[in-house]
Amino acid sequence: MSRALLLVCLALAGCVSVPERDPSQWPIARVEIERAIPTDDPAEATYRTYCIACHGVDGRGAGARTGADFTSLEGPLTRPDEELLASILDGRTGEIGVMPPHRAILGEERCRAVLGYVRTRFGAGVPIRAAAPDAPDAGLDAP
C-alpha cells in the first residue's frame, strides 16, 4: 500500500506547478527591490542589471563568496582604475570564480561609468595603491 501511495504522490507532484510569486507579495529579495527603484543614473542602472547578482546590493559579494567585496580595505578597489577596467572589459578568473567579460555587452564607456559608480557607492575610504610597473596584473586574483 505505501508503495502505491508513493507512486501516486510522485505522479501528482509532476502535475502540480508552483505559481510565480506576485511581485507585491513578501518576502521580496533585496536584489528585486533594488532593481525596481527608479534611477536617473545610467551607471547605477547598469550596475543593477549586470553586477548586482554577484556583487550584491551592498557591494560585498555575499561576504566575497559570490563576487569581490568592493568595501574591503584589501579588496579590488585598492587597484588602479586601468587594472579594474581591464577586468571588467575582458573578464578575469580568480579565487572566487569567473568575472565574465563585458566589453561586447557594455562597451568601454559604460564600463568606465560603472567603475566610477562602484568607487563612489562602495569605495569610500578604500585607498587606491599604485600599479607596480613590472607586474600589471599583480593582485588581480578576484573578479
**Mind listing the pLDDT tens digit for each residue in 85-113?**
999 999 999 888 899 999 999 999 999 99
Other CB atoms closer than 10 Å to residue 65's CB: what's the count? 12
**Mind listing the pLDDT tens digit for each residue in 41-78?**
999 999 999 999 999 999 999 999 999 999 999 999 99
Domains and CATH numbers, the chain: 30-143 (1.10.760.10)
Backbone φ and ψ of 98, nearest 5° = -115, 125
Query: Between residues 134 and 90, which one has the greater pLDDT?
Result: 90
Within 8 A by CB and 6+ apart from 90, the residues are 101, 103
pTM of the model: 0.70
